[in-house]
Amino acid sequence: MKREFWFVVGSQFLYGPDVLVIVENRAREMAAKLSKVLPYPLIYKVTAKTNKEITDVVKEANYRDECCGVITWCHTFSPSKMWIDGLRDLNKPWCHLATQYNQEIPNEEIDMDFMNLNQAAHGDREHGFIGARLRKPRKVIAGYWRDEKVHKRLGDWMKAAVGVAVSKDMKVMRFGDNMREVAVTEGDKVEAQIKLGWQVNTWAVGDLVKEMNTVTESEIDALVAEYTAAYDVATDNAAAIRYQAREEIAIKRMMDREDCRAFSNTFQDLYGMEQLPGLASQHLMALGYGYGGEGDWKVSAMTAILKAMGENGNGASAFMEDYTYHLVEGQEYSLGAHMLEVCPSLAAGRPQIETHHLGIGMNEKDPARLVFEGKAGPALVASLIDMGGRLRLIVQDIECVKPILPMPNLPVARVMWRAMPDLTTGVECWITAGGAHHTVLSYDVSAEMLRDWARMMDVEFVHITKDTTPEALEEELLIKDLIWKLKA
């Protein structure tokens, strides 16, 4: 899928044709140079001088699937009343880059001509006013356009905007319903489609079993060869690995046929299957598909979206579950894992394939799964919950560590981390906000990117950081609850 962003530069006729030629040439140069350092191409579209030029480019931006967002900048003063109709109708993500072509004020050269050409300092303020007046969700990034910090932030915003495009296109394939009686994995699928664009629908496990029966031995041979190229085999149960390959091929075929990017299943509904998909789900996640256990379609879709927002469109983001704590003073950590399904994009080393008995659910045979330790480093966990009438995205900063214990008898992949601001305060904040036990854990999607994504999707955003206190968070949630009730 081709993805790009459009660069629209504001000006007006007041300065004469010579100035407009310079503005256009500079805008082209900036788009070309920025395209070389940003994760997606930035295409120069127009130096806008009239209402019609702006509404025309907005109509095209709204219509073109490859356009994932619009970046505006006002090189000169660009009166904002001519932007009203276009910006009101814009339905793609919008970033206002407040920058300047020149880095320095040229001491000898500066005269009134220079001043008339280089007016971003007040042009961008006029442009900012109309964004605020329209209450239009937008990202404002200020800084010199050749500065690496600006590139990083523009690039991150682009990735968040790609997350919006992926969300609006999201289809989730559900095998079975949610785990019985569980609350947080439930939610309003109609609201999710209205708000986020997700099409969440169910397919019978029996249809999956039927699909599995059409998978050929040579197809399984090919996928097992992929497994053994990427992972070490630490089991002599080749049949279990082959069974997982059969499951993976069938799930992938069904998803691709329906254009689904994410799926969920539940150990309570495996009728006709010998094993819960473990290695199968893990390898599908490595390919960029989203997954949620126990029918958790929200975390499944979010996993696919965060993966797409990560490095090279398939980053280090994964379905995760808070499992158990280490509460020794000075060594307070969460241990995260799942029954089987942890994405190998989190692995510190080369994962190994193991088979073990799985007591939970209807597993006739021991399922094969990848076992590994997660990487150390700063990361975050994110949880999207349904508050009734609205969605809330909770993000918590965490610090992942090499697991402090070898845990030789733990038969699943594991990640160990310390939640911010510290484990117990972090847990208090998370629980107060209503965050789920299922999350998306990401090493390469930042909280700023998720804040941008939430703003673009019109979803409540709560961020638990090293500076969060339970008291301040309680106040914040109370105020946000009122605001979001008013907005509904």
Contact set with Mn ion (CB under 5 A): 293-294, 321
Q: Let me know: does 172 contact 299? Beta carbons within 8 Å.
A: no
Instruction: Specify the amino acid at residue 329.
Output: E
In angstroms, give the least distance from the CB of 303 to Mn ion.
13
In angstroms, give the least distance from the CB of 318 to Mn ion.
13
DSSP state of 77: -
| Sequential DSSP letters for 119-187 | -HHHHHHHHHHHHHHTT---EEEES-TT-HHHHHHHHHHHHHHHHHHHHHT-EEEEES-SPTT-STT--
User: What is the separation of C-alpha 433 from the centre of its chain, rounded to a whole number of angstroms?
Assistant: 20
Q: Let me know: does 198 contact 166? Beta carbons within 8 Å.
A: no
In the bound state with Mn ion, the residue whose beta carbon lies nearer, of 38 and 415, is 415
Q: Let me know: does 223 contact 350? Beta carbons within 8 Å.
A: no
Residue with the CB atom nearest Mn ion in the bound state: 293
Exposure string of 450-468, with b = 16+ CB inside 10 Å and e = fewer, is: bbbbbbbbebbbbbbeeeb
* Pick from 470, 472, 480: nearest CA to 419: 470
In angstroms, give the least distance from the CB of 436 to Mn ion.
9
Inter-helix orientation angle 297-309/447-457, to 10°:
120
In angstroms, give the least distance from the CB of 243 to Mn ion.
22
In angstroms, give the least distance from the CB of 467 to Mn ion.
30
In the bound state with Mn ion, the residue whose beta carbon lies nearer, of 41 and 176, is 176
In angstroms, give the least distance from the CB of 469 to Mn ion.
29
In the bound state with Mn ion, the residue whose beta carbon lies nearer, of 200 and 457, is 200
Q: Indicate the SS3 state at residue 399.
A: strand
Q: Phi/psi class of residue 361: alpha, beta or left (left: φ > 0; alpha: ψ in -120 to 50)?
A: left
In the bound state with Mn ion, the residue whose beta carbon lies nearer, of 90 and 340, is 340
In angstroms, give the least distance from the CB of 321 to Mn ion.
5
In the bound state with Mn ion, the residue whose beta carbon lies nearer, of 44 and 291, is 291
In the bound state with Mn ion, the residue whose beta carbon lies nearer, of 156 and 321, is 321
In angstroms, give the least distance from the CB of 331 to Mn ion.
25
* Gap between the Cα atoms of 43 and 30, Å rounded: 10
Beta-sheet pairing, 232-233 with 331-337: unpaired
In the bound state with Mn ion, the residue whose beta carbon lies nearer, of 229 and 360, is 360
| Sequential DSSP letters for 218-277 | HHHHHHHHHHHHHSEE--S-HHHHHHHHHHHHHHHHHHHHTT-SEEE--TT--TT-SS--
In the bound state with Mn ion, the residue whose beta carbon lies nearer, of 241 and 285, is 285
